[in-house]
Amino acid sequence: MAPTKAVEPRNYWRDNFAQAVLDLTGGRGVDVVFDAVGAATVVADTKALKTFGMLVSFGGASGQAELSAAELRPKSLRWAWFGVFNAYGQPDVWAGGVANLIPLIASGAVDPYITGVYTREQAPEAHRLLEGRLSQGKLALVHPN
């Protein structure tokens, strides 16, 4: 199901992410949260999920995410880890994921929210921004070809 309204990106350091999600969904919460941040956001992620929702962790920019059964149990939440290298190591899974994702990006249904594009020579600056938490959205490194 596609979102019914555009949503501005949220800064998890400044905004109360979970409350913003609950406000946008009329208190229901969302089906799935995809989290690349990790330790700093994982508890708020569980608050933003609806009952029987799923948290998918795929990174740990702020440290490794940790949750206890006590944090998952009240809403019967599921927690999964997605490892991109695991998918890449299975060509059929990788190709299927890319084959499904590219049309979604092209149609605008999925917006990767790229806020900066950097050449290989600019990679140190992109890393400085990421490490200093001075970026929002995705930073893309482009290949010269």
pLDDT of residue 12: 63
Q: Average pLDDT for residues 88-92, to the nearest whole number?
A: 89
The band of 1, judged by pLDDT with boundaries at 50, 70 and 90, is very low
Mean pLDDT of 89-115: 87
Q: What is the pLDDT of residue 6?
A: 53
Q: Do 126 and 118 touch, CB atoms closer than 8 A? A: yes
Mean pLDDT, rounded, for 123-130: 92
pLDDT at position 8 is 64
Q: Looking at residue 139, what is its pLDDT? A: 92
pLDDT 10s digits, 5-36? 555 666 666 778 899 999 999 999 999 999 98
Residue 145, pLDDT above cutoff 80: no
